[in-house]
Chain A
Amino acid sequence: MTLIDLANPSKFLSLTARVLPWLAAVTAIVLAIGLYQSATAPDDYQQGATVKIMFVHVPNAWLSMLVWGVMSLAALGTLVWRHPLADVAAKAAAPIGAAFTFLALVTGSLWGRPMWGTYWEWDARLTSVLILFLMYLGLIALWRAVEDPSRAARAAAVLTLVGAINLPIIKFSVDWWNTLHQPASVMRLGGPTLDRAFLVPLLMMAAAFSLLFVTLLLAAMRNEILRRRLRSLQMMQARAFSSEVDAGSREKTVPFGAA
């Protein structure tokens, strides 16, 4: 089974119909383990119990960036290989990515209230995630502005790739603009500074959220394929109807002309 075989939407549908229940079950199990580990993780000596927001906040923030990466690969698939499922994947991923980004913002805001004493701070990381959220919404608006899916797909692919180039630049600019947020403490050279007691649940939650993303993406892609089939069936029906009407009016006009 290669990527080319999956280009046939029927094959994709039958394969995902078999895979999805298992994937959903694995996601549920990993999420349950992650939630249990997060709940039993010790309180931080400074932050107390609020440190547990991290186990939800950080995976959301990672996923918000990862989804744009997945969409960029799908955009390459659309523009370079014209893979028929690439634009389905890109379209299905955009709202999921926006949801992860929104949750990262909300959990971050809820975490910021007890830690910094404010729900919103114009600090560099928060601001760049907010801009990422705006770009997700812009992309969704672009998808929703055009009826023809293939036309929208190519425009969205160009915008996704431009965004992929620009997002690091925006991130860097915003960092320059203001820095208050703590520097990265997991993804950095010289190993994580996070204690194992926090790191293990965090990684478990990150795995659970990634699995959740794959599950949601596959389900959304199935929906999108079915929606497109429905759309083409409706258009065929409308065309058949209009040609019937044409034929009917011709039948009416013919006797008139004959008479």
Chain B
Amino acid sequence: MTAQAALIRRDIRIAVRVGGGALIGVLFFLTVVVLMPFAVGPDLALLTRLGPAILWLGALLASLLTLDRLFMADHEDGSLDLIVMSRTPLELACATKALAHWMAAGLPLIVATPVLGLLLNLDTRSTAAVALTLLAGTPSLTFTGMIGAALAVTLHRGGLLLAVLVLPLSIPVLIFGVAASQAAISGLSFGAPFSILCALSLVSFVVGPFAAAASLRHGLD
């Protein structure tokens, strides 16, 4: 347990320090949301209607953007080899790293959501609904994206390839995240889509670490 705690503390510390780049994700999120009114027009009623979708897309892209740092930096300075060879099972180490990454790069997105909701003319209830669905859904984005990050580091390719591989896998989360937010806003049943969103996150907690560990184990040389 102490090994995991140490790994989390180390990863968060690296992420928030100079060169870490965790907070660039939030800046990107803000920029994407600010760009939207320029594309669809400053019509507040339309923005209110599109708000949850815009916030979800922004969060999806922002979490994707920070993903290729997940293993790449560790691979470059050699600490990934130490993690692979350590006594901690690689699956557990991957899950820990993903958790740390989510805490450093995912949580700030959720904290920023109320401010961005204000820009999109969302009321308190809608903003709370979007923030809650993001809280339930973004871990799934990180854990699924970790598979792509692990593939990218073993192939020495990142960027666009990672995005192309990971984005189709994140469609269910996007569907149920937006569905749950819309349901909460329009007063429909919030429970069903929200529970499925949570279930998707739980599935990704299982699949993500195993697939990422398999990819690292088979791919690193």
Contact = CB atoms under 8 A, between A and B. Distances in A.
- Which secondary structure dominates chain B's binding surface? helix
Given A134-B168, A158-B218, A169-B203, A174 B211 contact: no
Contact of B207 (A79, A145, A165): A165
A145 B157 contact: yes
A155 B151 contact: yes
Contacts of A141: 161, 164-165
- The bracket for how many chain B residues form the interface is 20 to 34
Given A142-B165, A158-B151, A177 B175 contact: yes
A173 B176 contact: yes
Contacts of B147: 158-159, 162
Interface in B138-187: 147, 150-151, 154-155, 157, 161, 164-165, 168-169, 171-172, 175-176, 179
B215 interface: yes
A131 B168 contact: yes
Given A142-B151, A151-B154, A159-B151, A166 B169 contact: yes
Nearest to B160: A141
A83 interface: no
Contacts of A145: 155, 157, 161
A176 B157 contact: no
B175 A176 contact: yes
Nearest to A172: B172
Nearest to A82: B218
A170 interface: yes
B136 interface: no
B168 A135 contact: yes
Given A138-B165, A141-B164, A142-B151, A158 B171 contact: no
A173 B211 contact: no
A133 to B, nearest CB: 10
A171 to B, nearest CB: 9
Nearest to A78: B218
Contacts of B110: none
A73 interface: no
A161 interface: yes
Given A79-B214, A138-B168, A152 B203 contact: no
Given A155-B155, A158-B151, A166-B169, A142 B215 contact: no
15 contacts: A131-B171, A134-B168, A141-B165, A145-B161, A154-B154, A158-B147, A158-B218, A159-B165, A162-B207, A162-B211, A163-B169, A169-B172, A170-B168, A172-B172, A177-B179
Interface of B: 147, 150-151, 154-155, 157, 161, 164-165, 168-169, 171-172, 175-176, 179, 193, 196, 200, 203, 207, 211, 214-215, 218-219
